[in-house]
Homo-oligomer: A and B are copies of this chain.
């Protein structure tokens, strides 16, 4: 093992705060790892933008994360995972994983009746990447996709346990209930924060798959396989650093509301320079 390399941080990026649910799972499940997080708050959301634009944004972010000497990269954004990961993986030696594949794999393993629902932004749903990955594993599975564009602004309003959010969820999810899915992929990084409302609406018989958690598990396996897992260092410094392209203060407030640690400093950078 190259100890210096193994002690390097994981680069995690997202269009904004949503990827923090992925960072949170990495913190919980891989406590020895350091993280450099980048949230592209100047250009969010990614869900409504084209593949070409997301690819350009992702390349800039990878160039920035490389300046932070990361040992691996997690695209903690469904849209970037779906639109850009295959392409940018080819352009770099750094190991990279996204949130789509690990979520798709677990969903395919979980379903009993062969009917899986996927909810996400318009970009994720329109790309059909979850469906493609799931059907690559098990072609007979039926995948029903549904875009839920109001869920992200509802989370950002913090109307988390709320009658309006419940009604919006009822409307968005009714089709998936009628289609009798037994497994539902939370295909947007904000959605785990609505887990209780979504669970109530879908009912106990439906298993919710959280790709953020599955991604942390996949990262653990990948680091072990490549002999890149951090053996734990003696450093006392705070192991997480946060960068954004805009509104560092606002990001910090949201981050502190969902992470088990105080985020400390968040630094704003000009991502278009990379």
Which residues of A pack against B, CB within 8 Å?
A: 41-44, 48-50, 53, 149-150, 153-154, 156-157, 163-164, 167-168, 171, 245-247, 250, 272
Contact = CB atoms under 8 A, between A and B. Distances in A.
A246 B153 contact: no
Contacts of A163: 167
B247 A49 contact: yes
Contact of A164 (B43, B44, B171, B246): B171
Copies, count: 2
Contacts of A154: 150
A245 B246 CA distance: 19
B247 A50 contact: yes
A167 B44 CA distance: 27
A14 to B, nearest CB: 15
B153 A150 contact: yes
A163 to B, nearest CB: 8
B149 A157 contact: yes
A94 B94 CA distance: 49
A53 B149 contact: no
10 contacts: A41-B48, A41-B49, A42-B43, A43-B43, A44-B48, A48-B247, A50-B246, A53-B245, A150-B157, A153-B153
Given A42-B43, A44-B48, 8 more contacts: A43-B43, A49-B247, A50-B247, A150-B150, A150-B154, A153-B153, A164-B168, A164-B171
A44 B53 CA distance: 13
A41 B122 CA distance: 14
Contacts of A156: 149
